[in-house]
Amino acid sequence: MKVSLTVNGKPMSGEVEGRTLLSTFLRETLSLTGTHIGCDTSQCGACTVHVDGAQVKSCTVFALDVQGSSVTTIEGMANTDGSLGRIQQAFQDHHGLQCGFCTPGMVMASAALLAVNPTPTEAEVRHHLEGNICRCTGYHNIVKAVMAASDAIPAE
Amino acid sequence: MPKDFEAKTTGIGAPMKRREDIRFLTGRGVYTDDIKLAGQTYAVIVRSQVAHGRIKAIRTEAAAAMEGVLAIFTGEDFKDVGGNPAGWLIKSRNGEPMREPKRPVLAHGKVRHVGDAYAAVIAETYEQGRAAAQQLADDTDIEELPAIIDMKAAAADATNRVHDEIPDNLCYDWGWIEDNRAAVEEVFARAPHVTTLELVNNRLIPNAMEPRASIGEYFPGTGDYKLTTTSQNPHLTRLLVAAFVLGIPENKLTVVAPDVGGGFGSKIYHYGEEALVLAAAKRLGRPVRWTAERSESFLSDAHGRDHVTKIELACEKDGTFLAFRTETFANVGAYLSNFATVTPTFLHGTLMAGPYKVPHVYVNVKTVFTNTAPVDAYRGAGRPEATFSLERVVDQMCRELGLDAFEVRRKNFLTPDMFPYTTPVGLVYDTGNYQATLDKVIEMADVAGFESRRAASAAKGLLRGLGLSTWIEACGIAPSHLVGILGARVGLYDAATVRVNATGNISIMVGAHSHGQGHETVFAQVAADRLGVPESSIEIVHGDTSKIPFGMGSYGSRSLAVCGVAMTKAIDKIIAKGKKIAAHMLEASEADITFEAGKFAVAGTDKAKTFGEIAFSAYVPHNYPLETLEPGLEETAFYDPANFTYPAGAYLCEAEVDPETGKVTIEAFHCADDFGNVMNPMIVEGQVHGGVGQGIGQALLESTTYDETGQLLTGSYMDYAMPRASDVPFYNVDYSCQTPCTHNPLGVKGCGEAGAIGSPPAVVNAVIDALHRGGHTHIKHIDMPVSPQRVWAAING
Ligand code: FES
Ligand code: FES
């Protein structure tokens, strides 16, 4: 079966089976390997992407379910000139990553939080990231990075 | 971060941002599972569902006939090749060598733990492989045997055996130092006070976020093999696979560990899947890939800790330590993982004096086989177990004698004038200042203000406590001569090659492997500082045995302290050769050439050559002393440390306990560490954060539970409680107390494991303190993880 959708602003399509997960489709069919697979129980958040702006664990939806949707992955988070986007830059500035494996999911989850809550408290950041596991950082610098990225959002 | 560090922007000591972050933040990291190869096939492993059983039959016909199936492997296919060896020979108290059962690529004859791999399917697609693996599992007859799970029962059981040839399931019964045993007993017999604690150091599952993965390739034209794998040390993996397991020439195998998503010890070791994908690639003539599902990781990654310890402390009534004595049962699981035998012994027993001037110590460790996953080094490896035992028993002694926990530590600390100091357990501490880190942490934690914070908690019906832990570790692993005497079967030096290219930029190939530590940034920082060239002109290459010299990878907080020193030694050779070239070019004597800020100059003149000019001359040697000097500018150095390094520190945890629910909340966590010189404070802080996060996980959350039949009850993130962002606080980290290592030129000690070593006893001590201050004085100890259920039961029990 064919699935067609927009990924990081570009129209894309590919052949999938009914059981093909969005995470598998992104990684295997579209070679967008920035989306990581860290578990088989939908608990780790390494596979987090945005579907039509909403935060989704891509291992929990079938590729066919996002037919016609707009999907954003970590590969779509940089600025148009290729420089790091605001949240990505905050992660680098605040050492919010070590091995980098949880990082794509952390950035996507943080972006989704800041989109709805531009000025979260520390507790809100920690609460929002409950679905994303990091084994390296002890979360300290991830939370710092998200807070810093939130401060940087100009009031509109 | 201390102010003077913020000021630096480049070179040693600057909090430089990490260059590797760019690829990780944009989804362009290349982890093993991200690599796709033409013609690739998929391996799916068939794992035992029972803890202990005899394989009666594996009927492969049906699975082999399924769509897409290319090959099936069972233990039979590997019975004539070697086993995965133990890297360390331990001798028992009676002088006998440890028992060392063969660890095959795939289980043969018996399965010995749930998750034990006994067959594999290679198929065109992953889904086809899975379907056939299921068929194969259905077509396997295994006669289930009683599972051996409890360590003490296992050691007492003469009939039921994990390995048929090992009668009491004992790997070894080790005494350290055995000759001191009688003297220690005598001290205990006449001691004015003895405190005893029985402790469990809970089994942990490392859970690097990237599951293990391996890709095997075989090139029939040359007979070469290539293994791409999630490894912390590709050269060791190559040695083990080539020389010990498959028996292929070492120079016919390349091992590449590309971007690796965390290790924490679990990716040091060689695993059977690596040999399997290579053997299968050769048989099929196609690449064979395997990636663990997380549930496989839970069942088959090497676990950590799992000690049951009785510790006794003999002391004067004023709290002066006289002796420590321990008896530990250490679970090694079903097979010996590569460093499983050294972790509970030399990485544990030799740390049993802590930072204290205790005159007598005796450590006994019985290491036991059980029908559980293999247990090996996990962040800290033996040293967290030693620290936990010591710091818990010291706290308990203070409580029994009504003494102040801070003062008792201070009274017993080694003092700065005592170094170098030979401990009663065989180490020579080169330097340290334990008073300084204790003073520092007291200041950081505002201990003076604790009472008012406690009162505020009490007003809310909550109990607040303060928990101290003063820790030391031996890292920068390790002096080969010393570890050789102790039974190591490998050397633990490291190596680096510095290649100055003709255009003046520099490639540095290092034996250390970065899987989160930021080597690409820090090694470049250190090299740039020494060479006086910009960091941006230096590239750090790691993780590929076809490119790097034979180094020993990263673990044991060794990367900078061993490999970093090798790199600086190679740089010194480059500078020495550069001086010779400069002397020729500048028509001066070599002794008059100085090297500073990237320039070779004739002392006292303005005659100078830049680093780039020297490099160019080395590769275009038109005006060059060819009769006395080789062209080119490339040097390799190996460095074998003279001693371990001894980072130390003091940690204070402030915790709140809700007596109604038993829930523990970490209100504050303070770390004052002495890591010697610090190369990149931002990264050092990150390492401490990560270690403390894992330590809090061990103390409060993480429990690895096997039931009596050997089923792992905590085999997924739904059952195994990983620390999440809201389980931990911001950590308050300081490293301004610095006593540089005396025997390496960088003065570095290592910081990767500290947090995981120092934090668990601080957390538990804080909980016990809170409970005592709240009047629950009957509670002597609560085993980790200190879960709400356990706290509640202790309060109400
Ligand atoms: S891979 Fe999707 S939540 Fe873990
Ligand atoms: S950076 Fe390694 S898991 Fe988060």
Residues A16 and A60 in one domain: yes
Strands annotated E in B501-565 = 506-510, 538-541
Tell me how far apart the alpha carbons of residues B697 and A136 are, in angstroms, rounded to a whole number: 12
Contact across the interface for A92 and B516, Cβ inside 8 Å: no
Note whether A14 and A43 are same-domain residues. yes
Measured between CB atoms, which of A41, A100, A139 is closest to B693?
Answer: A139
Q: What span, in angstroms and rounded, lies between the C-alpha atoms of A153 and A155?
A: 6
Joined tokens for residue B482: 């010393």
Q: Are residues A11 and A65 in the same domain?
A: yes
**Residue B772 dihedral angles phi and psi, to the nearest 5°:** -65, -45
Residues A108 and A61 in one domain: no
Q: Which chain B residues contact residue A40 at CB under 8 A? A: 293-295, 716
Q: Which fold has domain B307-478+643-795?
A: Aldehyde Oxidoreductase; domain 4 (3.30.365)
Quick one: CATH architecture of B493-639? 2-Layer Sandwich (3.30)
What residue spans define the domains of chain B?
40-145+207-300, 307-478+643-795, 493-639
- Give A81: exposed, middle or buried? Use CB within 10 Å, 0-12, 13-18, 19+: exposed
pLDDT of B565 reads: 96
The pocket around ligand 1, CB under 6 angstroms, is made up of A 37-39, 42-47, 57, 59
Distance from C-alpha of B589 to C-alpha of B591, rounded to nearest angstrom:
5
Regarding whether A104 and A64 lie in a shared domain, the answer is no
d(CA B77, CA B280): 10
Instruction: Indicate the length of chain A as a whole number.
Output: 156
* B262 vs A contacts (CB less than 8 Å): 98-99, 101, 135-136
Q: A136 to chain B: which residues are within 8 Å by CB?
A: 209, 262, 516, 686, 690
* Residue A156 included in any domain: no
CATH 3.40.640.10 fits B40-145+207-300, yes or no: no
Neighboring chain A residues of B690 at a CB cutoff of 8 Å: 98, 135-138
From A144's Cα to the closest Cα of chain B, the distance in A is 9
Using a CB-CB cut-off of 8 Å, the residues of chain B touching A143 are 725, 730
Question: Within this chain, do residues A108 and A126 fall inside the same structural domain, yes or no?
Answer: yes
Name the residue of A47, A51, A73, A130 to mutate for ligand 1: max ligand atoms within 8 A of Cβ: A47
C-beta atoms of A135 and B264 within 8 A: yes
- How many domains would you assign to chain A? 2
With cut-offs at 50, 70 and 90, classify the pLDDT of residue A155.
very low
CB contact under 8 A, A95 and B30: no
Residue B157 distance to chain A (closest CA, Å): 38
Q: Closest residue (by CA) to atom 3 of ligand 1?
A: A42
Does residue A70 share a domain with residue A6? yes
**Given this model, what pLDDT does residue B8 score?**
81
CA angle in degrees (0–180, nearest 5) for B617-B620-B624: 55
Considering the domain architecture, whether residues A40 and A101 belong to the same structural domain is answered as no
Residue B610 Cα to chain centre, angstroms: 41
Among the candidates A31, A58, A77, a domain finishes at A77
Q: Is residue A58 part of a domain?
A: yes
* Cβ–Cβ below 8 Å for A40 and B29: no
Torsion, Cα of B349, B351, B353, B354 (10° steps): -150
Dist. CA B425–CA B434, nearest whole Å? 19
Nearest to A92 among B21, B28, B207 (CB): B21
- For chain B, say whether A127 makes contact (Cβ under 8 Å): yes
Task: Among A44, A136, A141, name the best residue to mutate to test ligand 2's pocket (greatest count of ligand atoms within 8 A of Cβ).
Answer: A136
CATH number at residue A59: 3.10.20.30
Q: What is the pLDDT of residue B6?
A: 59
* The two three-digit tokens of residue B201, written as one number: 């150091």
**How does pLDDT run across B274-320, given as a tens digit for each residue?**
999 999 999 999 999 999 999 999 999 999 999 999 999 999 999 99
Q: Are strands B253-256 and B193-201 parallel, antiparallel or unpaired?
A: unpaired
First to last CA, chain A: 44
Residue of chain B whose alpha carbon sits nearest to that of A31: B34
Host domain of residue A25 = 2-77
B40-145+207-300 and B493-639 share one fold: yes
Residue B608 CA to ligand 2 center (angstroms) comes to 46
Which of the listed residues A53, A77, A101 is the one where a domain comes to its end? A77
User: What ranges make up the beta strands (E) of B698-788?
Assistant: 731-734
**Do residue A90 and residue A145 come from a single domain?**
yes
A57 in the same domain as A18: yes
In chain B, which residue's Cα lies nearest the Cα of A43?
B717
A51 and A9 in one domain? yes
Contacts of A99 in chain B (CB under 8 A): 24, 208-210, 259-262, 515-516
Q: Is residue A21 part of a domain?
A: yes
Which of chain A's residues have a Cβ under 8 Å away from the Cβ of B728?
138-140
* Residues with a CB atom less than 6 Å from ligand 2: A 97-103, 134-137; B 209, 261-262, 516
Q: Is A110 on the interface with B (CB under 8 A)?
A: no
Total count of residues recorded for chain B: 797
pTM reported for the whole predicted model: 0.97
Q: Name the residue facing A135 among B31, B262, B683 (closest C-beta).
A: B262
The CATH number given to whatever domain includes residue A125 is: 1.10.150.120
Residue B76 DSSP one-character state: G
Helix (H, G, I), strand (E, B) or coil at B169: coil
Buried b (16+ CB within 10 A) or exposed e, A36-62: bbbbbeebbbbbbbbbeeebbbbbebb
Of residues A81, A95, A75, the one with CA closest to residue A9 = A75
pLDDT in tens, A101-134: 999 999 999 999 999 999 999 999 999 999 999 9
Looking at residue B305, its pLDDT comes to 98
Q: Tokens in use for B147?
A: 């599972």
* Min distance B656 CA to chain A CA atoms (Å): 17
- Whether A37 contacts chain B with CB within 8 A: yes
Nearest CA to ligand 2 atom 3: A134
Tell if the CB–CB gap between B725 and A125 is shorter than 8 Å.
yes
Low-confidence ranges of chain B (pLDDT < 70): 1-6
Q: Cα(B735)–Cα(B679) distance, rounded to whole angstroms?
A: 12
* DSSP per position, chain A: -EEEEEETTEEEEEE--TT-BHHHIIIIIS--TTS----SSS-S-TTEEEETTEEEEGGGSBGGGGTT-EEE-GGG-S-TTSSPPHHHHHHHHTT--SS-SSHHHHHHHHHHHHHH-SS--HHHHHHHGGG---SSSTTHHHHHHHHHHHHTSPP-
A44 and A23 within one domain: yes
Question: Shortest Cα distance from B332 to chain A (angstroms)?
Answer: 24
Percent of chain B with pLDDT over 90: 97
Which of A77, A106, A136 lies at the terminal end of a domain, its last residue? A77
Query: What's the confidence (pLDDT) of residue B159?
Result: 87
How do residues B533-584 score in pLDDT, each as one tens digit?
A: 999 999 999 999 999 999 999 999 899 999 999 999 999 999 999 999 999 9
Distance from CA of B683 to the nearest CA of A (A): 7
Taking the CA atoms of residue B428, residue B477, residue B539 and residue B691 in that order, the dihedral angle to the nearest 10 degrees is -100
